[in-house]
Amino acid sequence: MSAPIRTGSSPFDAGPAPAAPAVRALTGKLGPVAIVFMVVAAASPLTVVGGAAPLGILLGNGVGFPALYVASGVILLLFSVGLAAMTRVVPRPGAFFTFVGHGLGRRAGLGAAYLALLTYTTVQVAVYGYLGYILSVTFAQLGVAELPWWLWALAVAALVGVLGYRHIDLSSKVLGVLLVGEIGIVLAVVAGVVLTGGDQGLSLEPFEPANVFSGSPAIGLTFAIAAFIGFEATAVFRDEARDPARTIPRATYAAVIGITIFYTLASWGLVMAWGPDHAVDVAAADPGAMILTTTAKYLGTAGEVIVNVLLITSMFACVLSFHNVITRYQHTMANAGLLPGAVGAVHARHLSPHWSSLVQSATTVLLVLVFALAGLDPVLEVFTWFAGVATLAIAILMAVTSLAVIVWFRRTRQDARVWNTVVAPALGLVGLAGAAVAIVANFPLLVGDVDAAGNQQFGATSAVLLALIVLCPAAGWVQAVVLRRRSPETYARITEAIG
């Protein structure tokens, strides 16, 4: 937040907010590179290359899967055009929450806020499950006393909580170092493939139409879209950016383009490493180990060990980045009067949303303990189920945001650029809506809701998880309705978020 709420011509201005006893303004000097590091770290590049890409090859459209990263990148770049235009004229840090509220009304905005919290909370806890499992297995193999996954997850949550409590600059530096390591090892593997000519020579077969549309491209697109989760959170760091009007759009475009190029190149390298004739078979043998076996083949045992280590740091970077995103969403909502006021306070020395960080840490601990007591498998259930929820929720959020951008600019006429405010957002909306439909159609497969024969079915698991995606925004909508009746001043401030 750069200034207190002020009165003016905006339909959301409602006079000055009540005086706050604590500092509530986030500040910082983050440049485009620092913000890109944080949001790309949330996308967890090495985890995607090592986990999602092999599954996309196996369950999606086979060797044509790399082309779907290009398709996803185009869709999300179109979405980013409208997002960047909205960022310039609505200088608020709430991202989805604020933009949907301005375009489609406060009730829709508050619904989007709760859906965003669900998205980032579920993807974070999903990674905690996977990370806890990997740490448990890794240290057991090293001869360290074997501990359950949830204890490792709680230990990581404690470290993330410490970093999240402090100034954002510290997190950005940690994430930057980890991200460079991830990208470096993947590029080294791709370089090894290119220099040796791969298994069957280098080719562009993954981009041939016959391969792109083979198998199940809808399932492949689902995995590809999921790999981008986190890039859109650039706007959340607005108040901590050096020059928000320039930094946020640049960081958004850089994140989308960078992620697209990286994932396309990396997945193409995986296919070339084993050849178009054998890549699917290697993925089928053990999708989770495909990146390890590929690294061992082209970089030797030392490379395999490095990838093992960086897979762990990749997931740590992911949960730290999402922790920062969630704390800022909560901070923004608290300053709009939608969460307890203390959550919106800022630490006097660290200049961080420290109470929001503590709330987020407590939420993580609670969820991990609940899953542990329920006996959920950290990979097959915690990771698979909640990653599926996050994937569908983010597609819906971005589609609704694209619609809000179009409506806002058509109503206010604040930007005369048709491409930026109508055409690009509309194309992005169509692509994202199509992706959401594809995800729903394949949701049972995403969350492992299959019968004994391996066929997907809309069973109890799918029903409960899909219900979360409906109930969370519905709860926000209901809260907005109640606030409109009982606290008109708070209702009027919903989309201001102390901007």
Contact 234, 94 (CB under 8 A): no
Find the mean pLDDT for residues 185-204.
95
In the Cβ-directed half-sphere of 287, how many Cα atoms lie within 13 Å?
A: 17
pLDDT higher than 50, residue 314: yes
Residue 286 has phi, psi (to 5 degrees) of: -170, 90
Lowest mean pLDDT among 6-20, 71-85, 390-404: 6-20
pLDDT higher than 80, residue 298: yes
Map tokens 């102390």 to a residue.
Answer: 498
Please tell me whether the overall predicted TM-score, pTM, comes out greater than 0.95 for this model. Answer: no
**Domains annotated on the chain, with CATH:** 32-492 (1.20.1740.10)
Q: Which residue has the higher pLDDT, 332 or 374?
A: 374
Per DSSP, the residues of 153-188 read HHHHHHHHHHHHHS-HHHHHHHHHHHHHHHHHHHHH
- Alpha carbons 72 and 232: distance in angstroms, whole number: 13
Write down the pLDDT at residue 3.
34
Residue 22 has phi, psi (to 5 degrees) of: -120, 160
Find the mean pLDDT for residues 427-449.
90
Q: Nearest to residue 401, comparing CAs of 63, 84, 59?
A: 84
Q: Which residue has the higher pLDDT, 170 or 215?
A: 215
| Cβ contacts of 218 within 8 Å, gap of 6 or more | 438, 441, 442
Write down the pLDDT at residue 129.
92
